[in-house]
């Protein structure tokens, strides 16, 4: 079984590829919930929805969020009555938020609701929130703390970041499908998808039982670099790296994850970093990591899984905690 850690767009793309390469019993996709927030009285879970919509083949590939064939009459009408319009909600997308909020308020777990939605979207592989408890990401800036969506959407990532906090993380428990996978002893590798290391992956790793597993179980950890040619494919990862004092590069990603990773997957563009990353004691897989088509997603997943199978024995021997 593979445990994939995923944020939004990049994570969803590789998760899609992994579903093509693995049976539903052999994959569990743990999704970041640090971006989740309450807006207009609705509970909005951007990364879960991006993964749901991507795997359900209904994602809006133009925007990178929301549903395809979307309409915006709700937003237009909301503007007309003076409502807040800085966070765009499509008419179809809204159904997800309204129904999820209703079910959460009725006492259902986010993981149960997410599993039901996945089932409705024809998705067979388990998509699970990292945790069922709210764990909002806080963005530290020189001018004070910001809630994640204030930073990310309202302020368009303009403020300089100095750090991040994950409120409630210390007490958070993994959602039950993740705990069961840990207990099963069946997880053969952890794949960290090409998502933002600070605001997509770090919140997942901030759940104590998840980082305990990753640090202490000896399971190989394969990180796919979200930085290609010094740029983030999407989102503020490169900008954040600079602001935190690192040169945006696949090598910096390797440095960031060197305490937990066994393997770093980098794009062919970045093949010059192979030796420097190996010098950190990490395996390197060089391949095409850009995933524009379904075929590219599946091929990257296949490459990663093939590499993981071939190297698993050696990787285990090299694991940091052994």
Interface residues with a copy of itself (CB under 8 A) are 40-42, 67, 70-71, 73-78, 80-83, 90-96, 98-99, 101-102, 105, 116-117, 120-121
* Nearest approach, Cβ of residue 94 and a copy of itself (Å): 5
**Residue closer to a copy of itself (CB basis): 4 or 94:** 94
Is the CB of 118 or the CB of 254 nearer to a copy of itself?
118
| Of the candidates 235, 234, 183, the residue with the CA atom closest to the CA atom of residue 212 | 183
Smaller CB distance to a copy of itself: residue 52 or 206? Answer: 52
Residue environment code for 303-313, b if the CB has 16+ CB neighbours within 10 A, otherwise e: bbbebbeebee
Q: Give the C-alpha separation, 109 to 94, whole Å.
A: 19
The smaller minimum CB distance to a copy of itself, of residues 77 and 314, is found at 77
CB contact at 8 A, 127 and 55: yes
Task: Give the C-alpha separation, 63 to 66, whole Å.
Answer: 7
Residue the block writes with tokens 């770090």: 202
Burial class (CB in 10 A: 0-12, 13-18, 19+), 48: buried
Q: Do 225 and 253 meet the contact criterion of CB atoms below 8 Å apart?
A: yes
Smallest distance from the beta carbon of 32 to a copy of itself, in angstroms? 21
Identity of the residue, 84 or 272, whose beta carbon is nearer to a copy of itself in the bound complex: 84
- Complex with a copy of itself: residue 74 or 215, whichever CB lies closer: 74
Helix 91-105, helix 73-80: angle, nearest 10:
80
Rank residues 26 and 116 by Cβ distance to a copy of itself and give the closer one. 116
Nearest alpha-carbon partner for 190 in 2, 316, 50: 2
How far apart are CB 91 and a copy of itself at their closest, in Å? 4
Query: Least CB distance from residue 164 to a copy of itself, whole Å?
Result: 28
Give the C-alpha separation, 61 to 63, whole Å: 6
In 36-151, at which residue ranges do the beta strands (DSSP E only) sit? 37-39, 42-44, 127-129, 137-141, 144-147
**221-224 and 27-31: which strand pairing?**
unpaired
- Strand pairing category for 137-141 and 163-166: antiparallel
- Minimum distance, C-beta of residue 35 to a copy of itself, in the bound complex (Å): 20
Minimum Å distance from CB 96 to a copy of itself? 7
- Closest distance between a copy of itself and the C-beta of residue 310, in Å? 41
**SS3 state of residue 191:** strand
- To a copy of itself, the closest distance from the beta carbon of 89 in angstroms equals 9
- Of residues 94 and 199, the one with the C-beta less far from a copy of itself: 94
């Amino acid at each position: 079984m593979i445990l994939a850690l995923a944020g939004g767009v990049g994570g969803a793309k590789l998760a899609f590829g992994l579903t093509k390469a693995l049976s539903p019993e052999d994959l569990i996709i743990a999704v970041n919930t640090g971006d989740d927030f309450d807006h207009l009285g609705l509970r909005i879970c951007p990364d879960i929805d991006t993964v749901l919509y991507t795997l359900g083949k209904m994602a809006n590939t133009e925007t990178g969020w929301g549903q395809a064939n979307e309409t915006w009459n709700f937003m237009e009408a909301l503007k007309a009555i003076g409502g807040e319009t800085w966070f765009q909600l499509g008419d179809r997308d809204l159904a997800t938020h309204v129904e999820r909020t209703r079910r959460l308020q009725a006492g259902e777990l986010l993981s149960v609701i997410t599993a039901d939605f996945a089932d409705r979207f024809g998705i067979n592989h388990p998509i699970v929130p990292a945790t069922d408890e709210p764990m909002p990401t806080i963005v530290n800036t020189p001018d004070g703390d910001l809630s994640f969506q204030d930073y990310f959407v309202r302020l368009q990532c303009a403020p300089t970041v100095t750090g991040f906090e994950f409120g409630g993380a210390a007490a958070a428990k993994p959602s039950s499908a993740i705990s069961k996978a840990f207990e099963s002893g069946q997880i053969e590798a952890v794949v960290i998808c090409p998502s933002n290391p600070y605001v997509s992956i770090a919140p997942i790793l901030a759940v104590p039982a998840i980082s305990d597993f990753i640090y202490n179980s000896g399971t190989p950890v394969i990180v796919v670099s979200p930085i290609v040619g010094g740029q983030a494919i999407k989102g503020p990862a490169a900008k954040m790296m600079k602001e935190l004092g690192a040169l945006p590069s696949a090598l910096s990603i390797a440095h960031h994850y060197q305490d937990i990773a066994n393997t770093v997957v980098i794009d062919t563009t970045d093949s010059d970093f192979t030796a420097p990353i190996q010098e950190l004691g990490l395996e390197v897989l060089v391949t095409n990591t850009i995933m524009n088509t379904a075929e590219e997603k599946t091929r990257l997943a296949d490459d990663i899984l093939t590499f993981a199978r071939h190297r698993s024995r050696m990787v285990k021997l090299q694991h940091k905690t052994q």
